[in-house]
Structure 1
Amino acid sequence: LMFGITFSNNITAHRQKSRVMTGYTWVASSHGRAAPPRAVQAGQDADGSLIYAGRAFFHGDTLPCKIVPQRREAYVSHNGREHNVSNYEYLVEQHMQWVSSSGSYIPPGAVPAGHTSSGETLYLGRVRHGNSITVGKVHPSHGCLYIPFGGNEVNYNSYEILVMR
C-alpha cells in the first residue's frame, strides 16, 4: 500500500474489473478493447491516433504506459527500450490536470501510476515528441520523464505531470 493506493502485481485483462483508488479508478484491459468511458486521454500520435494513460506490470515493475486502442497497442519504457504489452490498465479520471514539471520535482497531488520492484513510486508524465504528445513514466530518482517511442526509451528533463485537481 503506497500513498493509499494498492497496486496489483497481476493485471487480469479479460475481466472488466475496476479497482477504485483515491479519487480515480484503474480498469483492466487488453489489446483490441476500446477505451472505457472517461479514460484519461494523454496525447495524440503523429498519425492522429489518441493516446491514453495507463499502467502495466512488466519485469517485476508496475509501469506507467501509453495505450493506443486505435492501433491495438500499448507500450512501456524499460531499460532503454520500448516494449509492447498486451495486458494493462486504463486510468479513468475524476478531476485531473497536466501541469509543468522538470527534473525530479513531483508536485503536490501527482498521481502515482506505478512502482519499481525496489518500491520507488513512478508517475504519469507527457511531453511533445516530434509531431506527437506522448505519455510515459516520471522516474523521480532519475530526474526525468521516460517515454516509449520508436522502439527506444527516450528521456526528457522538462515535461508535464498528471495531478489531482
Structure 2
Amino acid sequence: MAQNKIADLYRWVDASITDEKFPVTAFAIGTDSQGHVVYMGRAYFNDILGPVHVVPQRKIAYLPNKGKEHRVEKFQLLCLNHFKWVPSTGGKVLPGAVQGGRNPYGLPLYVARVSHQGGSFVGVVHPRGETGSFPYQGKQIKTQDYQALITHFYDE
C-alpha cells in the first residue's frame, strides 16, 4: 500500500486528559492492570515527539523518556478514520464530507447514497447543481434527497 494511502487510514486528533469525551475511533491498545482501556497517543516532551500511554478512566497520560515516565496533559490520540451516512438535501456539502472525485471542470464531487426501488445506490453530490445523482438501469437519476458520507470522529 502506498504511503499516502496508509496515512488516509488514521489521523492524530488533539486531546487532553481533562476531556470529557474521547473520539469514538481512538485506537485502544489493550487494558491496564486494573482493567481500564489504554489508548495510543503521542506528545511532545523535551523536544521529542514520543508515544503516550493514555488511560482516560484514571485521568493519566504518560510518555517514557530517559528511563522515566513523564505525565503529560495534552497529547494527540491515534484515531482510525470512521465514516457515517447523514441525511442531506439540495447539494449541500456537510462538514467532513468525503470527496469522491471531480467533474470535468475540476469541481469536487462528494460521495452520496440513495435508497431507490428497494436498493441502495452510491452516487455523488453536485454542490453547484444542487442535487445528488446515482446510476440506475443505464441512466443517471437526480434527486434532492440523499445521504452524504462524512468522516465522523466524535459520538454526538
The TM-score range, normalised by the shorter chain, is: 0.3 to 0.5
Which protein has the larger Cα radius of gyration, Structure 1 or Structure 2? 2
Query: Please, what TM-score do these two structures have when normalized by structure 2?
Result: 0.46
